[in-house]
Chains A and B, each alone.
Chain A
Amino acid sequence: MNIKLLKLLNQNAKYSVHDLAVMLDMSDEEVKQEIESMEREGLIRGYKAVIDWEKLDGAYVSALIELKVSPQPDAGFEDIAKRIMKFNEVESVYLMSGAFDLCVIVKGKTFQEVAMFVAKQLATMEYVLSTSTHFVLRRYKEQDIELVDSDVDDRRKISLC
C-alpha cells in the first residue's frame, strides 16, 4: 500500500499512470500494479467526478437524515444499515456516536421527492424509531474541493523572485 499514491489519486483520480509514476519516482508498471492491487483489495472502491449540482437548476437536492434505531440482538445496527444502503436514493450511510444512531444522506430531484422517500421508506422501516430530516441548502465544499469562491491566483504573472 502506497499512501502517497492514494493521496494523489484522492486529489485527482484523473492523473495518468505515467504522471503518477514520475511524481512518485516509481516505474509506470509499479504504479499500475499498485493501483490494481489496491482496487482488488477493495482499498480503492471507485472513482467519480465531484459535481457542482447547483449549476444544474432543479436536478439535485439532498438531505441529511438523523435516524434513531433500536439495535438488534447480535446484529446491532448492522442489518438495518445494510438494508438502508440498498436504496438508490441513499448516497451515504454512517453509524454515529451521540444523539442519534444512523446518519443517512438522501438525494432526489426535489425536496418533495426526498421528503416522501423518508416518510414512506425510511420512517416505516422496522426498528426505525424516529427520523429527522435536514435539507442541504447550499454546498460550499465537497470532498476537499471548494465549490464557491475558490481561491483565485492573484500573483503577478512573472517576477525574478
Chain B
Amino acid sequence: MLDYQKLLNPTILNIKPSGIRKFFGIVEEMDDVITLGVGEPDFQTPWHIRQAGIRSLEEGKTRYTSNWGLEELRREISNYMSRRFQLSYNHRSEILVTVGGSEAIDGAIRTLVSPGDEVLIPIPSFVCYGPITQMAGGVPVYIETKAEDGFRLTAKALKEKITSKTKMLILPFPNNPTGAIMEREHLEEIAQVLKDTNIIILSDEIYCELTYGGKSHVSIASIDGMYERTVVVGGFSKAYSMTGWRLGFACGPAPVIHEMTKLHQYAIMCAPTTAQYAAIEALRNGDDDVKRMVDEYDMRRRLVIDGFNKMGLKCFEPKGAFYVFPSIGITGMSSEEFCEKLLYSKKVALVPGNAFGYCGEGHIRASYCYSVSHLKKALERIAEFLEEIKNQK
C-alpha cells in the first residue's frame, strides 16, 4: 500500500481545503433548496453566440489553434480593449487566449512569482489567488478591505503591506464577493503608491462588464505609469454568460505574455477551439446582449439590496459583479452559523462571508443571478428566519 501522504507534493498538501466544503456538501445533497449560492449567470449563452460555436463544428473547425489563440480572436480582443478601456494591446505579442480567466491568473502568477516572493491579495476576494501563489512558492500577504471604505483597496492599507519582497499586487475588482468597484480616483491613489516600485499588478477584471449606476469600469492599466506593470485578466464567462465554454485572456507587456505563452504551450496547448469561434461572435455582435443582461442584473440588484436592508441586514451598495454582501452583525451569529441555521430551518442557501477570507466574517454573500420571483421567495424566507430568531431571544 502506497503512503500517498508521503508521495504527494507537501505544498499542495499544506493548502488547506476550504472549511466551507462540508457546508457546500450539505447544500448539494438537500432537496428543494432555494439557493442564492452560485456566481454563475442564469442566462443562457445568447443564441447567436452558441450558433457561431455550432457553425464552427459544422465546418469542421475541430483542431488545435495557435498556442496564442486564433489570430482573429486576438484581433477582436485587441479592438475590444481599446474601444472599452482605451487600452492598446498588440494582438501578435501582448494577448494570450486562455482556458477561462482562471488559467490566465494561474499563468501570470506562475510566470512572475519566484519562491519567497510576496503577493498582496485584498480580501474578501475570490479564493484562487492564495493557493496558486503558494504552488509557485510565493507567500500570500492578505490586505483587509473594509465596509466603511466601500470594500476598496486603499493606498494606506496597501503601503502598510509592501516590503522589499513584494512582487505582485492582485487587484480583484469588480469584486466577488463584495460587489465593490475601484473608480478612477481610487486607482490613481494606488498608482501613486506603486509608480516608483517594481511591483507588478495582476488585475482580475473578469466582472468588468458588470457595473451599475452609470459607473463604467476603469482598468488600472489605463492609469498613468501602470500599463507597463499590469497584466489584465478578462474573460467571457460572466459578461456573456459563457461559464461552461471556459474562455478567457490575458493582456500585458510583451515579455510577460511571451513567457506566459511558453507555460501555456507546455501545460495547455491552446484554449478550446469551439469556444474561441463563439467568442469572436460575442465580441463582434454581443454588446446588446451584455446591455440587456446588465439592465436585468441592475434591477435585481436594487431589489435584493432593498430586501436585505428592510430586514435589518445592512447592505453595502455593490456597484459591480452580481453579488450583495450584507452584514449579519445584528444577529450575533458567525457567518457559518447563520448560513447553517438558515439552510436547516428555511432551506435557503447563502455563502458564508468568511469563505472569501477571514475578514468576510460577519457577512454573507448572496448572488442575484436568479429570476425576480426566485429572489423574492428567498428574501421572504430569510426575513421569516430573522423574525424567528428575534423571537427566540
A residues contacting B by CB (< 8 A) are: 4, 8, 12, 15, 19, 22-25, 151, 153, 155-161
Contact = CB atoms under 8 A, between A and B. Distances in A.
A155 B302 CA distance: 23
A158 B349 contact: yes
A23 to B, nearest CB: 4
Contact of B38 (A8, A151, A157): A157
Chain A contact residues: helix, strand, loop or mixed: loop
B358 interface: no
Contact of B372 (A15, A24, A151, A156): A15
Contacts of A22: 302-303, 306
Contact of A159 (B38, B42, B44, B295): B38
Given A156-B28, A161-B126, A19 B33 contact: no
A23 B351 contact: no
Interface in B361-380: 372-373, 376
B191 to A, nearest CB: 28
B376 A155 contact: no
Interface of B: 18, 20, 24, 27-28, 30, 33, 35, 37-40, 42, 44, 126-127, 176, 295, 299-300, 302-303, 306, 349, 351, 355-356, 372-373, 376
Contacts of A160: 18, 20, 39, 126-127, 176, 351, 355-356
Contact of A157 (B35, B176, B356): B35
Contact of A153 (B42, B303, B306): B42
B37 A159 contact: yes
Nearest to A22: B306
Contacts of B44: 151
11 contacts: A4-B295, A22-B303, A23-B303, A157-B33, A157-B35, A159-B38, A159-B39, A160-B39, A160-B126, A160-B176, A161-B176
Contacts of B303: 19, 22-23
Given A157-B27, A158-B24, A25 B302 contact: yes
Contacts of A24: 299, 302
Contacts of A25: 302
Nearest to A23: B299
Contacts of B300: 23
A8 B349 contact: no
A19 B39 contact: no
**A12, A157, A158 — most chain B CB neighbours (10 Å):** A158
A151 to B, nearest CB: 6
Nearest to B213: A25
Contacts of A12: 372-373
A151 B43 CA distance: 10
A47 to B, nearest CB: 17
Contacts of B372: 12, 15, 19, 23
Nearest to B307: A22
Given A160-B351, A161-B126, 14 more contacts: A12-B372, A19-B376, A22-B302, A22-B306, A23-B372, A155-B38, A155-B40, A156-B28, A158-B24, A158-B28, A158-B351, A159-B37, A160-B18, A161-B40
A151 B241 CA distance: 14
B170 to A, nearest CB: 15
Contacts of B18: 160
Contacts of B349: 157-158
A158 B365 CA distance: 11
A90 to B, nearest CB: 33
Contacts of A151: 44
